[in-house]
Amino acid sequence: MKQLIIYQIDSFTKEKFKGNPAGVVVNADGLQDSEMQQIARELNNSETAFLFSPDSNDCDGVIRYFTPSIEVPICGHATIAAMYAKALEDNLDSCVLRMKTKIGILPFEIIKENDDYQVVMTQGSFELSPTFDDDTTKKMINALGLDADDIDTKCPIQIASTGHSKVMIGIKSREKLNALSPKYSDLAELSKHINCNGYFVFTFDSDNRDILTYGRMFAPAIGINEDPVTGNANGPLGGYLVENNIVPIKDNKLEFNGRQGEKINRLGTISVKVLVENDKPVLIQIKGDAVVVFKTVIEI
């Protein structure tokens, strides 16, 4: 029998039962893919992260991510949760860990302050796809429950990615954002054609000067009708805003806070930083808090 140490952690918040919950198995060495998939299904979070010992000299460990139904290459909130759990488990000081993921080796910074931790995740390289044709755009807008005049005209509808792609859809109203009731089966079907599983609807309609955007993220094609607070949406959003010259940058960087989860009462906040060279995003990082909901041991 193997004893697995498992955490459940809410990311992008310091308040339990808010933010985005993720499972973390901190001692996953020896687990088979089928076992990881079963554990992720049992925990039933949108993602569960599995931490392994390093398999080469160029990294400090290996991290893999599973939804209840499939493995995904990278995940923002589960990274925050995994590094937070590791920091607690190993009583780490401030440090940078180079973790091997399915999209390469990425540096994750652990910041220790007042006997607690924040985590900074450096994301993968930024990619932005062309805008969609009119027919695909109409299908997407209809499936999301939007009308054409809801769309923020300064925001082209495009796929943005730092390793796990999302469609960016800017709209005018936060009220409309929170009223959305998408047709999930239509979104899942459309995902097959656009080769992208996530739809990130966001707005600049904020009543808080410290919050630039509010958003909601839907990914029914991978079993996540709505994700509470999404690192791999808010990070790419930063690159998208820079590349499309939608918001001003200062000193060759864009820094902002994005908020998500308001409608489903799991509010969380992500800090995003984009470094810019020649009007292009060259480095994207997200930073977040986390809080432990429970720690347990299971035997398999």
Active site residues: 47
Joined together, the tokens standing for residue 139 give 């299908």
Mark 211-242 as b/e (b = at least 16 C-beta within 10 Å).
ebbbbbbbbbbbebebbbbbbbbbbbbbbbbb
Provide the greatest CA pair distance for the chain.
Answer: 59
Torsion angle in degrees (nearest 10) through CA of 90, 233, 31, 39: 100
Angle at CA of residue 6, ends 56 and 217, nearest 5°: 85
3-state secondary structure at position 283 = strand
Question: DSSP string of 185-244?
Answer: HHHHHHHHHHT--EEEEEE---S-TT--EEEEEEEGGGTEEEESS-HHHHHHHHHHHHHT
What are the residues whose beta carbons fall under 8 Å from the beta carbon of 92, sequence distance 6 or more?
86, 110, 112, 117
Structure tokens at 72: 């995904």
Sign of the dihedral through C-alpha 164, 169, 170, 176: negative
Strand partners, 213: 258
Residue whose structure tokens are 């931790």: 117
